[in-house]
Copies of this chain bind each other. A is one copy, B any other.
Amino acid sequence: MSQIDQIHPEEKKTALIPPNLENDTFLRACFRQATDYTPVWLMRQAGRYLPEYCATRAVAGSFMGLATNVDFATQVTLQPLDRYKLDAAILFSDILTVPDAMGLGLTFSQGEGPVFAKSVRSEAAVAELCVPDMNKLRYVFDAVSSIKRALNGRVPLIGFSGSPWTLGCYMVEGAGSDDYRHVKSLMYSRPDLMHKILAINADSVAEYLNEQIRAGAQAVMIFDSWGGVLADGAFQEFSLAYTARVLSKLQRSFEGVQIPRIVFTKGGGIWLKEMGQLDCEVLGLDWTMNLGLARELVGGGLGTPGKALQGNIDPNVLFSSPHQIAEQVRRVLESFGSPHLDKTRSGPTHIFNLGHGISQYTPPEHVSALVDAVHEHSSKMRQI
């Protein structure tokens, strides 16, 4: 164990990196340790662009049929790892499992995305909400355990949840939205009710992620997919504050190993400095943010605190040729700049990812081009 495997004095007996991992590059980068190359995984890497995923989903019958069945969830989580040299696995599930467990009745209509049977727009509906019994989400924790076993130490497993605000958007709108009219109407006209929903969501998300950690998740990520639709001021009050509340309730380690926490707000680049104050290890960025600028703002220096950065290529790059994909990968890697090479100290690190989920129309062979280009070019950047 190197000297930087221990950074929190109060947690002297926890390791940063779990033993017995074949590939710990992703976790090292989360903790801002020097790595031999830039690790890469892709948001929604197990998904509809893969024919083998579609085949499993056809057998499962529906999205929730897939997500609630431990064997199917395990199978689809591992599918992209069998095709691509990805450096992390992410639990196959949906961000809306938590409001579903609250009794809102989640279904996925074909081609139209998630729909709830009940939406939460009135004082009475808010009064009925509470932190769900985690047993209703047992299928998720069982999936985590099963995937962890199936991975058998190949790469680390990331657990995840939607952010309190993002869950709140769906709960109030009752479905996806393009103007967020209902949730923002509630927020502006009944901020008290909105705060109640968000407090319950934050406590639910914290319990949910802690259970995932206890089931074996080696890192956790909070997806604030709709934080970026908020006005300045409202973002801080209704999204960021509740993400911080979740973070404050997460357990920092499990079985002697620390659990890094990633926060991703789509459209959050504009508030990056404030996000830099969050008690988490990694900040995810969408493609609008310049990684070099992000590194300056929150990446920290060699031996000084900062966040690891995750992102941020435009998923639409995957529709160009393998040669062009490699070129854009290079641009993103170089926008972050020189990786730090000092194995004795922490410093700025980059975890390569898309700036948002992969498109269902992505040609699967183009994903290989991306993953391989990340590994090749980032290795070269380390040969000085």
Residues in A130-169 with C-beta less than 8 Å from chain B: none
A180 to B319, CA, bound (A): 11
A341 touches B (CB below 8 Å): no
Q: Let me know if A319 and B184 touch, CB within 8 A.
A: yes
Q: Which of A93-125 contact B (CB under 8 A)?
A: none
Q: Interface stretch among A5-13, A25-33, A225-233, A244-252?
A: A225-233
Binds B, one of A67-75, A208-216, A310-318: A310-318
Question: Which residues of the partner chain B approach A316 to less than 8 Å between Cβ atoms?
Answer: 179-181, 184-185, 188
- Tell whether A277 is near chain B: CB-to-CB under 8 Å: no
Q: Kindly supply a per-residue 1/0 record for chain A positions 298-329, scoring 1 wherever the CB is within 8 Å of any chain B CB and 0 otherwise.
A: 00000000000000111011011100100010
Q: Is the interface on chain A under 10, 10 to 19, 20 to 34, or 35 or more residues?
A: 35 or more
A188 contact set on B, CB distance < 8 A: 314, 316-317, 319-320, 324, 328
* Among listed A46-54, A196-204, A286-294, A370-378, interface-contacting one: A286-294
Chain B: minimal CB distance from A295 (Å): 13
Contact between chains at A314 and B359 (CB < 8 Å): no
Q: Please tell me if A335 contacts chain B, counting CB pairs below 8 Å.
A: yes
CB of A184, distance to nearest CB on chain B (Å): 4
* Contact residues, A329-347 vs B (CB, 8 A): 331, 335
- A267 at interface by CB-CB < 8 Å: yes
CB of A7, distance to nearest CB on chain B (Å): 31
Report yes or no: B361 in contact with A181, Cβ–Cβ below 8 A: yes
Query: Chain B nearest CB: distance from A334 CB in Å?
Result: 11
Q: Are B288 and A228 in contact (CB under 8 A)?
A: yes
Q: How far is the CA of A317 from the CA of B231 in the complex (A)?
A: 10
Residues of B contacting A178 with CB < 8 Å? 178
A235 at the A/B interface (Cβ < 8 Å)?
yes
* A contact residues vs B (CB 8 Å cutoff): 178-181, 184-185, 188-189, 228, 230-235, 267, 269-270, 287-290, 312-314, 316-317, 319-321, 324, 328, 331, 335, 355, 359, 361
